[in-house]
């Protein structure tokens, strides 16, 4: 992980509250992998002092580009919203571990809730490039808070859009979708991000069908390098840092309250 200077290519509003940030930064684009974290310095000043962490949304090593998806929430992201094409941007990354696809898996299922959807998009994209079946379950409070569904459909994923407002995002419905996909599409791995109840379901489904299952955890991060221990989570092997040991954990190893 290193500090790198990038150039903003675009910073556009996409739907309710979300912004899509494209950055030219070949150093990180060459090294980053699905699910890893990029820590962004939001301003040249000292307020806010701490960087803001974001899961990699998409990346293009050939063109040296990375993409982040963020939601407006607090002073840091409000400052990021002001970034314009051509501005310099200070990045720390890539941090943490990454999603790993079993070479023997003919199909995978990715489940994203809210801004957690950003974490699983590049994973789904990679799996499709490798010729695997991908079931993508995307949910949020409202459909206006769901993104990337058009892109995932375009690359050939089996996409399910669920929302609280339509009454389709309950755990029972997600379980039904996953059960059908596991039985019909030879899904062998489950990956989730953005919801503890979905993480618990992922664990249950993994155990029931003897599948490997993983969760990407979302925690407040300060240093981003595992020193401050401000983002610890409890596992069967004791406390671990989400920024360094994670953010991705075997769902059977992490304690999900």
Q: What is the CATH number of the domain that holds 126?
A: 3.40.50.80
Do 75 and 170 have their domain in common?
no
Do 115 and 76 have their domain in common?
no
Do 133 and 23 have their domain in common?
no
Q: Label the pairing between strands 158-163 and 187-193.
A: unpaired
pLDDT at 133 over 80: yes
Q: Is residue 256 part of a domain?
A: no
Domain count, the chain: 2
pLDDT-wise least confident of 36-40, 82-86, 89-93, 253-257: 253-257
Q: What is the pLDDT of residue 4?
A: 95
Do 76 and 134 have their domain in common?
no
Over range 73-98, report the average pLDDT. Answer: 94
Do 150 and 85 have their domain in common?
no
Q: What is the pLDDT of residue 19?
A: 96
Do 237 and 144 have their domain in common?
yes
Residue 16 banded pLDDT, cuts 50, 70, 90: confident
Percent of residues, the chain, with pLDDT higher than 70 = 100
Where does a domain end: 95, 116, 139?
95
Return the higher-pLDDT residue of 210 and 49. 210
DSSP-H helix ranges across the chain? 26-31, 75-80, 117-129, 149-154, 171-185, 196-209
Do 123 and 36 have their domain in common?
no
Residue 46 banded pLDDT, cuts 50, 70, 90: confident
Do 45 and 113 have their domain in common?
no
pLDDT at 17 over 90: no
Over range 172-192, report the average pLDDT. Answer: 96
Residue 123 banded pLDDT, cuts 50, 70, 90: very high
- The helix-helix angle for 196-209 and 171-185 (nearest 10°) equals 40
Q: Is residue 101 part of a domain?
A: no
Do 114 and 163 have their domain in common?
yes
Domain of residue 209: give its range: 107-250
Over range 182-207, report the average pLDDT. Answer: 95
Euclidean distance between CA atoms 248 and 113, whole angstroms: 15
Do 164 and 38 have their domain in common?
no
Residue 89, domain CATH: 2.40.30.10
Do 162 and 246 have their domain in common?
yes
Q: What is the pLDDT of residue 154?
A: 98
Do 79 and 42 have their domain in common?
yes
- Please, which residues have CB within 8 angstroms of residue 230's CB and are 6 or more apart in sequence? 220, 221, 222, 223
- Give this prediction's pTM: 0.95
pLDDT at 45 over 90: no
Where does a domain end: 49, 71, 95?
95
Work out the number of other CB atoms within 10 angstroms of the CB of residue 102: 12
């Amino acid at each position: 992980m290193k500090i790198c200077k990038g150039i903003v290519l675009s910073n556009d509003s996409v739907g309710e509250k979300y912004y899509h940030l494209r950055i030219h930064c070949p150093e990180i684009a060459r090294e980053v992998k699905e699910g890893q974290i990029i820590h962004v310095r939001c301003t040249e000043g000292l307020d806010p002092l701490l960087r803001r962490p974001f899961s990699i949304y998409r990346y293009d090593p050939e063109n040296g580009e990375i993409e982040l998806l963020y939601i407006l929430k607090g002073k840091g992201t409000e400052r990021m919203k002001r970034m314009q094409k051509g501005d310099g941007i200070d990045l720390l990354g890539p941090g943490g571990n990454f999603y790993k696809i079993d070479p023997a898996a003919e199909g995978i299922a990715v489940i994203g809730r809210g801004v957690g959807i950003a974490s699983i998009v590049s994973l789904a994209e990679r799996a499709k490039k490798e010729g695997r079946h991908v079931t993508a379950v995307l949910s949020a409070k409202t459909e206006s808070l769901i993104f990337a569904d058009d892109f995932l459909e375009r690359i050939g994923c089996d996409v399910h859009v669920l929302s609280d407002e339509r009454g389709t995002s309950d755990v029972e419905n997600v379980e039904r979708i996953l059960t059908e996909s596991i039985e019909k599409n030879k899904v062998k791995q489950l990956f989730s991000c953005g919801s503890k109840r979905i993480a618990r379901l992922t664990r249950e489904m993994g155990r029931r069908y003897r599948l490997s299952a993983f969760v990407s955890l979302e925690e407040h991060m300060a240093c981003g390098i595992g020193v401050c221990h401000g983002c610890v989570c409890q596992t069967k092997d004791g406390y671990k840092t989400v920024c360094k040991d994670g953010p991705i954990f075997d769902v059977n190893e992490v304690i999900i309250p």
